[in-house]
Amino acid sequence: MYKNYTYKYESDKRYLCCSRYRSLKCNARLVVDAEGNIVRANEKIHALPTARGGVLMFRNYTFSYTNSRKRLLCSKKLRGKCKAKLKVDDEGYVIGGYYNHNHPPPVYHKAKDGLYFKDRFT
C-alpha cells in the first residue's frame, strides 16, 4: 500500500502497478530497490465510478478539472475555500501542485454494484 492505494508486482520484482489497472485502467506505477524501498512513484489521479458519473481522487481528496484539462482544483474550492490544486500531464500523471487542504478528506464507500458513494456523516 502506498498513499492508501494498493499495488501489485509485475513480472519484474522491481516494478509495481496499481491494483486497479484492469478495472479502472489506472497507470500509476512504483519502482522499488532490492530491499523493497520505493525509489520512484508515478502517481495518477483515480476516477471512482459513482451514480453521478464519477469523481476524481488523489491522495484521498476529490478534485475537478478547471477549464483546462491539465489543472484540477479541490472539490471544496468554493464551499470550503480550499486552495489545494493539481497540475497533470497529458496522461493524467500529477506533475505538481499545492497539496495542503484545509479540511479532512471525504469518505467514500463501495457498494455491491461497484459504484462508490460518499459518506455524508463524516
The string of pLDDT tens digits covering residues 106-119 is: 888 888 887 878 88
Residues 58 and 25 in one domain: no
Averaged over 66-92, what is the pLDDT? 86
The answer to the question of residue 34 being in a domain is yes
pLDDT digits (tens, 9 = 90+) for 36-61: 887 777 776 767 777 776 678 888 88
The answer to the question of residue 23 being in a domain is yes
Mean pLDDT of the chain: 80
Structural domain range at position 29: 7-42
The answer to the question of residue 54 being in a domain is yes
Residues 35 and 78 in one domain: no
The residues facing 18 across adjacent strands are 7
Residue 104 to residue 82: CA distance in whole angstroms: 11
Averaged over 96-106, what is the pLDDT? 90
Query: Is the pTM here over 0.85, yes or no?
Result: no
The answer to the question of residue 2 being in a domain is no
Residues 17 and 70 in one domain: no
- DSSP letter at 24 equals H
The pairing of strands 15-18 and 7-9 is antiparallel
Residue 32 to residue 40: CA distance in whole angstroms: 7
Averaged over 57-76, what is the pLDDT? 86
Residues 12 and 57 in one domain: no
pLDDT value at position 83?
Answer: 94
Residues 59 and 112 in one domain: yes
The answer to the question of residue 1 being in a domain is no
pLDDT confidence tier of residue 24, bands split at 50, 70 and 90? low
Phi/psi at 79 (nearest 5 deg)?
Answer: -70, -40
Residues 12 and 24 in one domain: yes
